[in-house]
């Protein structure tokens, strides 16, 4: 027991639960350090010692399970790691905030992305859509479009405040293609006023309005298109319905084929899919979706397919569809259903050109792109937060500037006529 006291005395920060976590895979046992982002493999004794530190567990249990010699050896190894690797030392006293000078520079020269709400209209009424009247966190379906004057002013604004060589311009809705004319003018005007920039245009579409003419226009420009398609007809039509409540699969496939024809060899890099997985969750449903995309012979091999869940609060219990529910238990538990399915399917794959490897790659990317330091930060970064309107702005149909398209009801940051209200933003950023 004395060696446990020696271990705790070696840890400079006493808020043990915030210092890290342990996890295991089929390959081994690991510890993650919060302050540095470092990950270490470890033996079973060391793993359980870290587990006790982070969870405040009973130290008696480890002495009942392992010999004193094994425990003392692992304790010495952990103390050496603390001294040499600077782990278990994260102690944040405040957020890392930008100075007023830094904020002004960011707003004047660092804009990288513009999202235009070109319309609030949609010709679909997907059962899980966030814009249903019962979802209090978002607006309802609207009947207004953005006019060309507003879109033009937004482009002029970003052209003055973007010092970056690359600028992303995204179109948001509703269904953006309902206001295709403004989309087309925006793309052409942006290329005219910013000829030296690399412009990237992007939007998500339900594909039902994607004619060959429109597809050919997008193919001529640097457009990246996310296509909403939830799998085979019986699964897709269960939730993605039109205003009359009818299935939309056939219209979507027609639009998809137009898009693939127009983009040709560039389809693999410029077209992606978003598949929303709806309850009830079953392995057979996920298998059916995978099989559907694998057998679409007109899809380029290795095209990106993203799986996502229904957003919380956007699907009512009475709207859950049991039409496609093959025999088999729901995938339930603490681990998200897609992750369970992915873990089971990945070892079976012989090709890296399919849905499974796309999902695995995206999951691993989050791990590999984590911050990694030799010494822990003295100040805490805003985890998952951005500087409001700093790198990206969302302009609604009336020209108001908001945080981004991912946030529902939120305070306005200004408008495209007067720009961002810097004093108001400073109050947001400086808030404790």
Contact 75, 3 (CB under 8 A): yes
pLDDT band at 431 (very low <50, low <70, confident <90, very high): low
Q: Among residues 259, 286, 281, which one has the least CA distance to residue 272?
A: 259
**Among the listed residues 296, 384, 281, 269, the one whose alpha carbon sits nearest the alpha carbon of residue 342:** 281
Lowest-pLDDT range of 49-63, 276-290, 292-306, 414-428 = 414-428
List pLDDT tens digits, range 293-352.
Answer: 999 999 998 899 998 888 877 888 888 887 766 555 566 555 566 666 666 666 666 555
Look at residue 398 in the predicted model and tell me its pLDDT.
95
Give the 3-state secondary structure of residue 202: strand
Q: Which residues are CB-contacts of 239 (< 8 A; sequence separation ≥ 6)?
A: 126, 127, 128, 230, 276, 278, 319, 321
Is 80 exceeded by the pLDDT of residue 364? no
pLDDT 10s digits, 198-219: 999 999 999 999 999 999 999 9
Distance (Å) of CA 12 to CA 6, 16, 18, 42, 175: 12, 10, 13, 21, 54
In angstroms, the Cα distances linking 345 to 36, 178, 283, 339 are: 33, 39, 10, 10
From residue 157, alpha-carbon distances to 164, 309, 336 in Å are: 14, 35, 42
Binned at pLDDT 50, 70 and 90, residue 43 comes out as very high
Q: How confident is the model over 2-32, as pLDDT tens digits? A: 578 888 888 887 777 788 999 998 889 999 9
Residue 201 to residue 90: CA distance in whole angstroms: 41
Domain ranges for the chain: 2-85, 176-368
User: Nearest-CA neighbor of 390 among 24, 3, 98?
Assistant: 98
Name the percent of the chain lying above pLDDT 90.
48
Contact 328, 284 (CB under 8 A): yes
Say which CATH architecture domain 176-368 belongs to.
Alpha-Beta Barrel (3.20)
Q: Distance (Å, rounded) from C-alpha 344 to C-alpha 367?
A: 20
pLDDT in tens, 75-124: 999 999 999 999 988 766 566 666 777 777 777 777 889 999 999 999 99
- pLDDT tens profile 217-261: 999 999 999 999 999 999 999 999 999 999 999 999 999 999 999
Q: Which distant-in-sequence residues (6+ apart) come within 8 Å of 368 by Cβ?
A: none
pLDDT band at residue 158 using 50, 70 and 90 as cut-offs:
very high
Q: Taking 70 as the threshold, does the pLDDT of residue 196 lie above it?
A: yes
């Amino acid at each position: 027991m004395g060696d446990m006291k020696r271990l705790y005395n070696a840890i400079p920060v006493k808020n043990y639960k915030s210092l890290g976590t342990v996890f295991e895979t089929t390959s081994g046992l690991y510890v993650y350090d919060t302050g540095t982002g470092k990950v270490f493999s470890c033996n079973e004794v060391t793993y359980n010692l870290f587990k006790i530190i982070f969870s405040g567990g009973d130290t008696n249990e480890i002495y009942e399970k392992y010999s004193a010699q094994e425990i003392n050896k692992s304790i010495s190894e952990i103390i050496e790691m603390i001294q040499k690797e600077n782990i278990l030392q994260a102690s944040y006293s405040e957020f890392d905030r930008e100075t007023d000078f830094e904020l002004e520079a960011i707003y004047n020269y660092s804009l990288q992305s513009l999202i235009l709400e070109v319309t609030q209209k949609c010709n679909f009424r997907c059962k899980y859509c966030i814009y249903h009247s019962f979802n209090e966190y978002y607006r309802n379906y609207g009947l207004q479009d953005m006019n060309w004057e507003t879109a033009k002013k937004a482009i002029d604004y970003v052209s003055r405040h973007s010092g970056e060589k690359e600028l992303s311009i995204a179109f948001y809705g509703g269904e953006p293609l309902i206001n295709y004319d403004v989309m087309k003018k925006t793309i052409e005007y942006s290329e005219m006023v910013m000829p030296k920039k690399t412009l990237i245009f992007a939007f998500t579409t339900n594909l039902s309005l994607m004619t060959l003419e429109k597809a050919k226009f997008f193919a001529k420009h640097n457009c990246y298109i996310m296509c909403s398609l939830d799998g085979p007809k019986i699964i897709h039509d269960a939730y993605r319905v039109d205003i009359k409540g009818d299935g939309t699969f056939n219209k979507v496939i027609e639009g998809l084929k137009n898009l693939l024809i127009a983009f040709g060899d560039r389809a693999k890099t410029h077209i992606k899919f978003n598949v929303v997985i709806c309850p009830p969750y079953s392995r057979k449903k996920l298998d059916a979706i995978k099989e559907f995309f694998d057998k679409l012979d007109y899809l380029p091999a290795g095209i990106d397919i993203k799986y996502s869940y229904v957003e919380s609060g956007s699907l009512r219990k009475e709207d859950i569809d049991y039409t496609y529910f093959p025999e088999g238990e729901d995938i339930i538990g603490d681990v998200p259903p897609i992750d369970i399915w992915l873990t089971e399917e990945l070892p079976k794959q012989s090709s890296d050109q399919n849905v499974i490897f796309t999902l695995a790659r995206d999951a691993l990317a989050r791990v590999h792109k984590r911050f990694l330091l030799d010494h822990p930060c003295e100040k805490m970064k805003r985890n998952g937060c951005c500087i409001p309107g700093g790198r990206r702005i969302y302009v609604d149909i009336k020209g108001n500037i908001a945080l981004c398209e991912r946030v529902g009801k939120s305070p306005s940051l200004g408008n495209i006529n007067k720009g961002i209200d810097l004093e108001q933003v400073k109050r947001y950023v400086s808030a404790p």
